[in-house]
Chain A
């Protein structure tokens, strides 16, 4: 483990790497970092009472605060994600972890990493179109033109604005006739 010489705490870069091993339970090829829901990671000194503080090292006294934001208000995966983050960090020796939830600024698919978009495509889910959110098309599912993740054709049509999870809409390809999920711009 790479550690900060003065405090013997793992570097934040390394912690981000560990968080990258935590998968989204609904779409396991995506990590929580790919999804853009980890907003901040920082160490804080808990103001514990002085008698115990004097006896303990600084390392065990510090708390790692991970700030996450939900994708959708009712996303049932959030509880599992928080538990998984907690477990992943504790397995690597970070004993004191606090997970904060932050609602604002509201999560957007613009925060998804480029690698995340590639992984979605390979998995058979059409990734969110980055330009759509900037064009003000968030809160809408494009009725046509989402490229098919199987054959690449843009001759596709929206079947339902809602899909198997809150973050997806359901499409069909007019070229290869396969149905597919689209991770919608939000």
Chain B
């Protein structure tokens, strides 16, 4: 799908879609959590991210002169029009995978939102300020679990290490700047991803070390999500998320 001509709109859609797609993934845990408290935690985090996605999509809708409502952006775009990073659409697998994915994202999300508190875009600043408090709370939760599983039993250590290793190849994209990111950084609307990458690696290293886990070696990384080139997983996710609006167009709550 071609990129929008407005780089700011692309940038906001990326922020929105990261939240929306991860929210949908976490919602799949509803009723399937490993324990009741965790079931509620995962769905609470999903709810926060859904609210954040709504705020970003409202802004995206305004930026494109309201050609599409926030609901249309969520429920009527096809996979090629989604701008989330590949990490967020990866399937839940087991609880270790879900926590590893959450830990990678929460660390990145908190750093980016902190940076966006100084954005020259007033609206981006406001939404970031609201989201950041929630993102930090999520990070405490996910990093707590990575430590608990890593420094737990042999079995839990094995499984979280595998999840950390398997998902590693989807993390490069979070901090790899393309032309949109460069433009946003130059206009001081978006963050400098080189700096975010450095801070992200430090934070990830610290927690993984505390968790007695091996930090994966840097290697080949998947990219494409931010430009709309996704893994197979996204299509299945959208089929479920968008079913109602596709089957019953314009249905209202």
A sample of 27 cross-chain residue pairs with beta-carbon separation below 8 angstroms, ordered by A number, consists of A70-B130, A72-B48, A72-B134, A73-B50, A73-B51, A73-B134, A74-B48, A74-B54, A75-B47, A76-B47, A103-B55, A103-B129, A104-B125, A104-B129, A104-B130, A139-B133, A139-B137, A140-B136, A159-B37, A161-B41, A161-B140, A162-B37, A162-B40, A162-B44, A162-B45, A166-B48, A170-B37
* B137 x A140 contact (CB < 8 A): yes
Contacts of B44 in A (CB 8 A): 162-163, 166
Within 8 A of B (CB), among A34-89: 70, 72-76
Known: A103-B129, A104-B125. A160 touches B37 (CB 8 A): yes
Cα distance, A164 to B51, chains bound together (Å): 17
Q: 4 other contacts beyond A70-B51, A103-B127, A166-B44, with CB at 8 A cut-off?
A: A73-B55, A76-B47, A103-B129, A162-B40
Cα distance, A142 to B16, chains bound together (Å): 30
Contacts of B141 in A (CB 8 A): 161-162
Contacts of B21 in A (CB 8 A): none
A-B pairs, 6 with minimum CB distance: A74-B51, A73-B51, A160-B37, A139-B136, A162-B41, A104-B126
* A160 x B52 contact (CB < 8 A): no
Interchain nearest-CB distance for B113 vs A (Å): 11
Cα distance, A75 to B134, chains bound together (Å): 12
* B37 x A73 contact (CB < 8 A): no
Contacts of A159 in B (CB 8 A): 37
Task: Name A74's contact: one of B40, B47, B125, B137 (CB within 8 Å).
Answer: B47
Q: Is the interface of A mostly helix, strand, loop or mixed?
A: loop
Best-surrounded residue of A74, A104, A106 (most CB of chain B within 10 A):
A74
Task: Give the residue name and chain of the A residue nearest to B19 (CB).
Answer: A73
Contacts of B107 in A (CB 8 A): none
Cα distance, A97 to B47, chains bound together (Å): 29
Q: Is the interface of B mostly helix, strand, loop or mixed?
A: helix
Interface residues of B (CB under 8 A from A): 37-38, 40-41, 44-45, 47-52, 54-55, 125-127, 129-131, 133-134, 136-137, 140-141
Within 8 A of B (CB), among A81-119: 103-106
Interface size class of A (residues with CB under 8 A): 20 to 34
Contacts of A73 in B (CB 8 A): 48, 50-52, 54-55, 130-131, 134
Known: A106-B130, A166-B47. A139 touches B52 (CB 8 A): no
Contacts of A163 in B (CB 8 A): 40, 44
Cα distance, A158 to B249, chains bound together (Å): 45
* A74 x B129 contact (CB < 8 A): no
Contacts of B38 in A (CB 8 A): 160
A182 within 8 A of B: no
* A161 x B131 contact (CB < 8 A): no
Known: A70-B51, A73-B54. A161 touches B130 (CB 8 A): no
Task: Give the residue name and chain of the A residue nearest to B56 (CB).
Answer: A73
Task: Give the residue name and chain of the B residue nearest to A104 (CB).
Answer: B126
Interchain nearest-CB distance for B166 vs A (Å): 26
Best-surrounded residue of B51, B136, B141 (most CB of chain A within 10 A):
B51
Cα distance, A170 to B141, chains bound together (Å): 14
